[in-house]
Structure 1
Amino acid sequence: MNSDTQAPNRTDLIVDVGPVAHGGHCVARHEGRVVFVRHGIPGERVKVRLTESGADAKFWRGDVVEVLDASPDRVAHFWDLADSARSWSHRHPPVGGAELGHIALTRQRSLKAEVLAEQLHRLAGVELPLAGTDTAAGSLVEAVGEQGTTAPAGLGWRTRAGFAVTPAGKLGMHAHRSDTVLPVREMPLAVDAINNLRLWDIDLQGIERVEVAAPANGSRPLVLLVPAAGTRAKRLSAVLAQLPDDVSVASFDPVKGEVLRLRGRTYVQETASGHDYRVTGDGFWQIHREAPAALVGAVTGFLHNGGFLEPGAVVADLYAGVGLFTAPLADAVGATGSVLSVEGAPGTSRDARKNLHDAPQVEIVQGRVERVLREKARNFDAILLDPPRAGAGKAVVNQLIGAGPRAVAYVSCDPASFARDVGYFQQSGWELAGLRAFDLYPHTHHMETVALLTPRG
């Protein structure tokens, strides 16, 4: 990446903003060159400040610094530090993480639906809406958790947040695709329990990164400190003394992968679908306060309605994490069924064993999905697939199909890798039989997708 992001006095372009694209930007053109524009809306005419450019570059990137012809869907940004025009007027780029905050929520969701539909069409040849459904492609992305909260729509949903630290030891966040760290004094997307910690008032010198988890059930939050190389125990103690007494605090050694207790617990206690889950350190858990229930409901709904998840069924939960889906799957198959739960991260797999110790029908295996599927070959009624952002990939998809399940429920956080994998399933005679998408990351370009895949015919 070049240094353009650091300098506000680069070339400004006037462009017409074109269609939305995957990744949080829209496509524009300037003298035949593609420019990926952030902080615009399709149909607008804007002034763009280039953040990445070069005579030989295939495309450029830029931020909107002035709107010349606004979309009716443009709204005042809820966060000054993430507002592109305001930030550049103060001679710095905006922070990442709220790149759609200038767009009305309903339009955000329709744009995300456009991205999902385009990826499925281009990478898998799938046209939305699917046959047999009454959901229009433009309304595919569902709102989640906007009832029963005092926070404005689209705000106050994050139960987890990660922060950088400025050279002066202040809580900060990175600008998009930049090493620049900007000090922050609020996080409007986070739940009150995170903002109430007021981490921006703390001297964080010696700390490289801060991860915070505040469970939606109101249980004790955890602050995880990642010290910079050479930070002494005395400095950690000084940071610890500034944090509230009722908050658990731990440190994380990224080289050894160890979470060390400083005060309280090294984990948080989450709750979802009638089960409690221990999640250690920065172990994975869905960040939207309503995401676990929404996703479990979508997965079990697809499998139950299709007759794939009944007492006595044999199922697998791949990339299972701490067992969010494993526990309700075990409930559904009962004592006469079985669930194979596979997770690659050792610490997360240990959490899963603790979380599911009273479910004898569950077999928990720590290791790579490809290896475990080879070693644990069996006939599955259904397989749940919840891979990381990169997706499952062709090799894993082929292994799944070779295992002969009657159905695969696929949970994805990335429409591009999801669509690519759907294409692999289709090449082997499978089809996309059901699809739901959830706006679990309002004001960002991210979404979560749950799909049902079955053998064609």
Structure 2
Amino acid sequence: MTSHSISPLTDTSGGQGAPGTELIVDVGPVAHGGHFVARHEGRVIFVRHGIPGEKVRIRLTDSGDSSRFWRADVVEVLEASPDRVQHFWKPADSLTAWKHGNPPVGGAELGHISLQRQRALKAEVLSEQLKRLAGLDLGVEVEGVGANDDGGLGWRTRASFAVTPKGRLGMHAHRSDVVVPIREMPLALPGINDLKLWDLDLSGIARVEVATPANGSRPLVLLAPEETTSPKRLHSVLSQLPNDVSVASFDPGKGQVLQLRGRTWVQESAAGHEYRVTGEGFWQIHKDAPDTLVDAVTGYLAGGGYLQPGAAVADLYAGAGLFTAPLADAVGITGSVLSVEGSPGTSRDARKNLHGESHVEIVQGRVERVLHQRPRNFDSLVLDPPRVGAGKAVVNQLMASHPRAIAYVSCDPASFARDLGYFQQGGWRLESLRAFDLYPHTHHLETVSLIVPAG
């Protein structure tokens, strides 16, 4: 087997078990969250940047005698897996980064693994969560999306960046305040890289968000200034950006977006519809994700006869209306669609995107509160909650609305499996499930499932 060596690191740990200590371990099975399980003298260590079956040298990054488990990065591969490949991005490559004395940036933690093995590992995680939390023993496949995988690169339509103390574009290391400067983002669409944000003086800016729609429409750069940043400094950053790019400032805590130049929103396209998405408003980040997910959701509901003209349906955690618009098309003006979204700004986008659709009701508020205040029955539901999932209270409310089917879209295997367990306790069952690799080179995946009453 191949050995990937690096120069020895200085041990500043002050003792075994402290951060900085290096150990040699055998990498075990994959765990949820982008880690792999290893053990040292009975202690569980969650290791990043390994592959099951490898023998590696690791550097402890989060540890201590009182910790239930430790965390570590691989810094040298002593016996490599045949699925190990050259990482496509040096700042995210643990071997290269630690060789130069820096932790790797987050966001590409599986970039050292072949795409085929990445998807197999994600399938293992999904299967394990379903078995542990929902009691289901299922073999699942994680599907690639788009006509061409392109090596899992160039798919992000959105990217979030930090800023180094010297005012240069950077990204955070995993679970760390360390900001590593970068000069490329291989996972992003060319439009994001073409901005060359790494050449700018970003002094006074705490965070930068970029949205570049896959349809080629005008990109948006969001600048989160530090509290002490003057309007003059903010204008100086603005002047460095191309004139054909919209720029806005935003306050992540208050959710406020202020126009600096152009628009405060981007125009997205999916499923034959145009969508306005303001500021940090949620939108699927893979260029092929919106159409992929809409096809999967409507395919399940329409194929099972749950989505027909005249039907009453609901889109919960609806965002800017990605699913609401095709649902409205399917049920027609004789049907009805309730669209519920908690974020005020995103809900306003949904109102604009569904303007003129008299059979669509847009409600801003927490899903559980809206369902409590407006109890009604539905023919089918679309459920697309945030990473934490819907939770037991919402699941019980959904079952009480007596739909014939629920299409559940999830970005987290653990919360999905937990919620599926709640459905099963209420007498429902999993009818169908698909998993998609919408986040290549990361541990994330997306699932679309069809859940129906067991009877």
TM-score class, shorter-chain normalisation, is: over 0.9
Please identify, of 247-256 and 158-167, the stretch whose mean Cα deviation from structure 2 is larger. 247-256
Counterpart contact for 1:146–1:154, Cα < 8 Å: no
Give me the whole-angstrom Cα distance separating, in 2, the residues matched to 1:146 and 1:334: 31
Give me the whole-angstrom Cα distance separating, in 2, the residues matched to 1:172 and 1:11: 26
Give me the whole-angstrom Cα distance separating, in 2, the residues matched to 1:68 and 1:351: 52
Residue 417 (structure 1) aligned with residue 415 (structure 2): yes
Counterpart contact for 2:19–2:64, Cα < 8 Å: no
> Which of residues 71, 85, 93 in structure 1 aligns to 2:95?
85
Counterpart contact for 2:172–2:178, Cα < 8 Å: yes
Show the 5 A alignment for 1:387-406.
Answer: 387-406=385-404
- Could you tell me which residue of structure 2 aligns to residue 133 of structure 1? none
- Could you tell me which residue of structure 1 aligns to residue 68 of structure 2? 58
> Which of residues 144, 151, 166 in structure 1 aligns to 2:164?
166
- Partner SS for 1:61: strand
> Which of residues 363, 383, 388 in structure 2 aligns to 1:385?
383
Show the 5 A alignment for 1:114-133.
Answer: 114-129=124-139
Counterpart contact for 2:378–2:401, Cα < 8 Å: yes
- Could you tell me which residue of structure 2 aligns to residue 248 of structure 1? 246
Give me the whole-angstrom Cα distance separating, in 1, the residues matched to 2:81 and 2:292: 32
TM-score (norm 1): 0.95
Show the 5 A alignment for 1:250-265.
Answer: 250-265=248-263
Give me the whole-angstrom Cα distance separating, in 1, the residues matched to 2:254 and 2:106: 29
- Partner SS for 2:282: coil
Residue 346 (structure 1) aligned with residue 347 (structure 2): no
Counterpart contact for 1:227–1:251, Cα < 8 Å: yes
Residue 69 (structure 1) aligned with residue 79 (structure 2): yes
- Partner SS for 1:203: coil
Counterpart contact for 2:19–2:62, Cα < 8 Å: no
Please identify, of 250-259 and 118-127, the stretch whose mean Cα deviation from structure 2 is larger. 250-259
Q: In the alignment, residue 280 of structure 2 is paired with which amino acid? A: D
Give me the whole-angstrom Cα distance separating, in 2, the residues matched to 1:411 and 1:442: 18
- Could you tell me which residue of structure 1 aligns to residue 145 of structure 2? 144
> Which of residues 24, 28, 38 in structure 2 aligns to 1:28?
38
Residue 233 (structure 1) aligned with residue 243 (structure 2): no
Give me the whole-angstrom Cα distance separating, in 1, the residues matched to 2:59 and 2:147: 35
Give me the whole-angstrom Cα distance separating, in 1, the residues matched to 2:205 and 2:118: 35
> Which of residues 419, 444, 447 in structure 1 aligns to 2:445?
447
- Partner SS for 2:266: strand
How big is the shift at 1:146?
A: 4.6
How big is the shift at 1:229?
A: 0.6
How big is the shift at 1:254?
A: 2.9
How big is the shift at 1:256?
A: 3.3
- Could you tell me which residue of structure 2 aligns to residue 106 of structure 1? 116
Structure 2 unmatched runs, 5+: 1-11
Show the 5 A alignment for 1:202-351.
Answer: 202-351=200-349
Give me the whole-angstrom Cα distance separating, in 2, the residues matched to 1:200 and 1:250: 18
CA RMSD of aligned residues (A): 1.2
Counterpart contact for 2:204–2:229, Cα < 8 Å: yes
> Which of residues 176, 196, 199 in structure 1 aligns to 2:197?
199
Q: In the alignment, residue 146 of structure 2 is paired with which amino acid? A: G
Give me the whole-angstrom Cα distance separating, in 2, the residues matched to 1:360 and 1:30: 63
- Partner SS for 1:162: strand
How big is the shift at 1:9?
A: 8.1
Q: In the alignment, residue 55 of structure 2 is paired with which amino acid? A: R
- Could you tell me which residue of structure 2 aligns to residue 12 of structure 1? 22
Offset from partner CA, 1:54-85 (integer Å, 9 cap, x none): 01111111000011110000000000000001
Give me the whole-angstrom Cα distance separating, in 2, the residues matched to 1:250 and 1:232: 15
> Which of residues 432, 435, 439 in structure 1 aligns to 2:433?
435
Give me the whole-angstrom Cα distance separating, in 2, the residues matched to 1:72 and 1:390: 35
Offset from partner CA, 1:306-355 (integer Å, 9 cap, x none): 11000001000000000000000000000100000000000000000000
Offset from partner CA, 1:98-129 (integer Å, 9 cap, x none): 00000000000000000000000000001114
Q: Per the alignment, do residues 231 and 127 of structure 1 end up closer, same or farther by CA in structure 2, a change over 3 Å counting? A: same
Offset from partner CA, 1:8-39 (integer Å, 9 cap, x none): 98211111100000000100101110000000
How big is the shift at 1:305?
A: 1.0
How big is the shift at 1:453?
A: 0.3
- Partner SS for 1:65: strand
Q: In the alignment, residue 214 of structure 1 is paired with which amino acid? A: T
- Partner SS for 1:302: helix
How big is the shift at 1:255?
A: 4.0
Q: In the alignment, residue 309 of structure 1 is paired with which amino acid? A: L
- Partner SS for 1:336: coil
Q: Percent identity?
A: 73
Give me the whole-angstrom Cα distance separating, in 2, the residues matched to 1:366 and 1:439: 30
Give me the whole-angstrom Cα distance separating, in 1, the residues matched to 2:157 and 2:252: 22
How big is the shift at 1:378?
A: 1.2
- Could you tell me which residue of structure 2 aligns to residue 132 of structure 1? none
How big is the shift at 1:253?
A: 2.1
TM-score (norm 2): 0.95
Counterpart contact for 1:154–1:442, Cα < 8 Å: yes
- Could you tell me which residue of structure 2 aligns to residue 134 of structure 1? none
- Partner SS for 2:297: helix
Q: In the alignment, residue 324 of structure 1 is paired with which amino acid? A: L
How many residues align? The count is 440
- Partner SS for 1:234: helix
Counterpart contact for 1:155–1:189, Cα < 8 Å: yes
Give me the whole-angstrom Cα distance separating, in 2, the residues matched to 1:409 and 1:255: 32
How big is the shift at 1:287?
A: 0.2
How big is the shift at 1:374?
A: 1.3
How big is the shift at 1:375?
A: 1.7
Residue 367 (structure 1) aligned with residue 377 (structure 2): no
- Partner SS for 1:153: helix
Give me the whole-angstrom Cα distance separating, in 2, the residues matched to 1:397 and 1:171: 42
Runs of 4 or more, structure 1, over 3 Å off, are none
- Partner SS for 2:151: coil
Give me the whole-angstrom Cα distance separating, in 2, the residues matched to 1:207 and 1:27: 38
Give me the whole-angstrom Cα distance separating, in 2, the residues matched to 1:315 and 1:221: 33
Counterpart contact for 1:146–1:153, Cα < 8 Å: no
Q: In the alignment, residue 176 of structure 2 is paired with which amino acid? A: S
- Could you tell me which residue of structure 1 aligns to residue 3 of structure 2? none
